[in-house]
Amino acid sequence: MGLIRIGTSGYSYREWVGPVYPTGTKSGAYLRCYTRRFATLELNYSYYRMPTASQLAALLQKAGGSLGFSIKAHASLTHEPDRRSWETQAKTFREALKPLQEARCLEAVLFQFPYAFHYEKENRRYLAQLLAAFEELPRVVEFRNTQWYREQVVQGLRERAVALAVVDLPPLAGLPPILEAVTAPLAYIRLHGRNQRDFWGSDRAARYDYRYSDGELASWRDRILRLQTQADIVLVYFNNHPKGQAAVNAQRLGELLGMG
């Protein structure tokens, strides 16, 4: 039976002071507060700003060695790749990860592709090259376009030992379904909420404004237990961060799984 770890996507949210972190908590103390609740964290700032080794080393020190990290790949590798220079960006990103690797705290590298990343020959070739550039690391791919959900893609990921993220998204046309396909020793779940009204809106935070009910979490508990029988580790991250809902739901899911 695989290990289960639950956390959130991001932790440095001012609006979490009160609902998640004690009132009056300063930003420099957010991470230590987070480690008191969870054992894993998905870093997402790395999508917006290319991380550096010194930044990640500082995060390790703040976390006190008690936290595992997954990290989202920079936009230059997934959303805005320059096919002539992406290898340089990949090298820069890999170099930044060294402190996490050396501390054995790197749980996964997440490559999350946008809806506009279609199932086309050029994109398939690029994906294969990108995954090969990170071959020595635990890799996860998340597609936001249902075109990629076909047997040859699942098989290709399985041959490369790359995890296909199991995602929960609003039931909207073109978005992927929940697919419990284990394609690597690692199973990786991202729960984005089911906010149909705001998902395609211009307010990025609003699209993730959703709180899972106990019934919905119980369904995910059952899925996680099934995945646990097929994977060495199951990583679960809540991305419904507005109002601290991700942390509240993550803690409740842990309770439903008998973890706390």
Decide if pLDDT at 141 tops 80.
yes
**What pLDDT is attached to residue 238?**
98
Q: Could you identify the residue written with the tokens 């039931």?
A: 171
β-bridge mates for residue 238, sequence order? 8, 191
180 and 226 in contact (C-beta within 8 Å)? yes
Q: What's the CA gap between 259 and 162, in Å, rounded?
A: 27
Q: What's the whole-number mean pLDDT along residues 109-134?
A: 97
Q: What's the whole-number mean pLDDT along residues 3-13?
A: 98
**Nearest residue to 137 via CA among 110, 112, 109, 156:** 109
Q: How many CA atoms lie within 13 A of 103 on its CB side?
A: 22
pLDDT tier for residue 23 given thresholds of 50, 70 and 90:
very high
pLDDT tier for residue 113 given thresholds of 50, 70 and 90:
very high
Question: What is the strand order of the sheet 233-238 is part of?
Answer: 3-8, 233-238, 186-191, 166-168
Q: What's the CA gap between 93 and 212, in Å, rounded?
A: 34
Average pLDDT score over the chain: 96
pTM tops 0.95, yes or no: yes
Domain limits, the chain: 3-256
Share of the chain above pLDDT 90, in %: 95
Convert the pLDDT of each residue in 31-54 to its tens digit: 999 999 999 999 999 999 999 999
Convert the pLDDT of each residue in 176-207 to its tens digit: 999 999 999 999 999 999 999 999 998 988 99
* 3 state DSSP class of 111: strand
148 and 176 in contact (C-beta within 8 Å)? yes
Q: What's the CA gap between 130 and 77, in Å, rounded?
A: 8
Q: What's the CA gap between 191 and 169, in Å, rounded?
A: 7
pLDDT tier for residue 66 given thresholds of 50, 70 and 90:
confident
- Cα 217 → chain centroid: 18
**What pLDDT is attached to residue 1?**
86
Per-residue CA distances from 26 to 21, 32, 260 (Å): 9, 11, 26
CB atoms inside a 10 Å sphere around CB 78: 21
Decide if pLDDT at 5 tops 90.
yes
Q: What's the CA gap between 195 and 210, in Å, rounded?
A: 6
**What pLDDT is attached to residue 260?**
65
Decide if pLDDT at 102 tops 80.
yes
**What pLDDT is attached to residue 32?**
95
**What pLDDT is attached to residue 137?**
98
**What pLDDT is attached to residue 140?**
98
Q: What's the CA gap between 13 and 206, in Å, rounded?
A: 14
Q: What's the whole-number mean pLDDT along residues 138-146?
A: 98
Angle ∠(175,108,37) on CA atoms, nearest 5: 95
Decide if pLDDT at 17 tops 80.
yes
CATH number of 3-256: 3.20.20.410
**What pLDDT is attached to residue 233?**
98
Q: How many CA atoms lie within 13 A of 98 on its CB side?
A: 7
Q: What's the whole-number mean pLDDT along residues 217-241?
A: 98
